[in-house]
């Protein structure tokens, strides 16, 4: 199994705003209220990122959010669906309005692009039991070694992590990652804001794993994968340095490491030098999306792996 892909899915938003239903436990959403021009600014950022990736030789399949449903977070499709060879997985979502994103018929759009998925694993039924597992937001996958890293939170139920690993033949590395919020240490809502796995590197905020035994377990698993560990601070994590993604190009030239301009500014020169050894650093302004949505470049990309 390959770790990276040259084909991705993005969803162009139609009514992007601060989602009050997710702000309950997404502390990366820093805006107080949505402004009148938030959708317009987010759309500009989305289009610029999609164009940048297309110009960089990545196949970008864009699904249009028609605005028919109340889907303010549709710009983050990697939480709702993931792709694994011949299988597609649908996930149970914490916020009720995020469940409406399944109405966008992503699978139909991919079939039109010559990418049919006949095997569908649908975990959305667990929403009735208040069990949630928000895709590759909470599951950071080492696809090469079949290891799923997951920080537990209200968006990541341990029983569903086990179910995913059983169905997709992964081994789970589960831990608790916390962030400071008004003096309290609270669960980080998605694992992919505190760590990112490339083919030969991992960016991770080990300081967010407060339990020393858990931190050692995660570090040993990452070292065992042979990847270089690039540590980031909690401050850097809060500026989305952990929310990055390695992609391949269609011509398989140099890998790309995609991030926001904010993340790029907050990496140190030494960290950027380390990352640049593994691929071209590609960055673009995503300030509106980050501020109101609490997610960044990686959250906007659902990687497409097809048999």
Q: Classify residue 101: in a domain, yes or no.
A: yes
Q: Classify residue 199: in a domain, yes or no.
A: yes
Mean pLDDT across 124-129 = 98
Three-state secondary-structure class, residue 273: helix
CA dist 254 and 251 (Å) reads 9
Predicted pLDDT of residue 26: 63
CA distances from 202 to 72, 84, 225, 230 (A): 30, 21, 10, 6
Q: Classify residue 210: in a domain, yes or no.
A: yes
- The DSSP H or E segment spanning 181 is strand 178-181
Pairing of strands 87-90, 119-122: parallel
Q: In which domain, by residue range, is 267 found?
A: 7-303
Mean pLDDT score across all residues of the chain: 95
CA dist 286 and 223 (Å) reads 32
pLDDT tens digits for 205-232?
999 999 999 999 999 999 999 999 999 9
Q: Classify residue 70: in a domain, yes or no.
A: yes
Q: Classify residue 1: in a domain, yes or no.
A: no
Predicted pLDDT of residue 184: 86
Does residue 99 contact residue 128 with C-beta atoms inside 8 Å?
no
Q: What is the CATH number of the domain that holds 233?
A: 3.75.10.10
Q: Classify residue 240: in a domain, yes or no.
A: yes
Does residue 29 contact residue 292 with C-beta atoms inside 8 Å?
yes
Q: How many CB atoms lie within 10 A of CB 284?
A: 18
Number of domains in the chain: 1
Q: Classify residue 2: in a domain, yes or no.
A: no
């Amino acid at each position: 199994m390959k770790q990276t892909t040259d084909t991705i899915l993005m969803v162009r938003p139609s009514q992007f705003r601060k989602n009050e239903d997710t702000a309950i436990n997404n502390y990366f959403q820093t805006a107080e209220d949505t402004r009148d021009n938030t959708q317009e600014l987010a759309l500009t950022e989305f289009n610029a990122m999609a164009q940048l990736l297309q110009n960089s030789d990545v196949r970008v399949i864009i699904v249009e959010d028609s605005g028919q449903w109340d889907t303010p977070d549709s710009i983050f499709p990697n939480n709702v669906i993931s792709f694994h060879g011949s299988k597609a997985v649908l996930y149970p979502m914490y916020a009720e309005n995020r469940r409406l994103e399944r109405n966008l018929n992503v699978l139909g759009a991919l079939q039109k692009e010559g990418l049919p998925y006949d095997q569908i694993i649908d975990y959305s039924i667990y929403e009735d039991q208040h069990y949630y597992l928000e895709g590759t937001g909470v599951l950071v996958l080492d696809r090469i070694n079949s290891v799923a890293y997951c920080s537990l939170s209200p968006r990541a139920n341990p029983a569903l992590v086990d179910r995913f690993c059983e169905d997709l033949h992964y081994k789970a590395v589960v831990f608790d990652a916390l962030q400071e919020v008004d003096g309290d240490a609270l669960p980080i809502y998605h694992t992919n804001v505190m760590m990112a796995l490339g083919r030969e590197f991992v960016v991770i905020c080990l300081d967010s794993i407060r339990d020393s035994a858990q931190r050692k377990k995660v570090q040993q698993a990452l070292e065992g994968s042979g990847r270089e560990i690039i540590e980031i601070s909690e401050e850097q994590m809060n500026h989305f340095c952990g929310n990055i993604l390695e992609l391949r190009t269609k011509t398989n030239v140099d890998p790309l490491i995609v991030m926001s301009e904010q993340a790029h500014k907050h990496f140190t020169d030494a960290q950027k030098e380390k990352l640049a050894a593994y691929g071209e650093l590609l960055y673009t302004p995503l300030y509106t999306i980050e501020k109101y949505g609490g997610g960044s470049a990686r959250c906007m990309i659902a990687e497409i792996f097809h048999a």
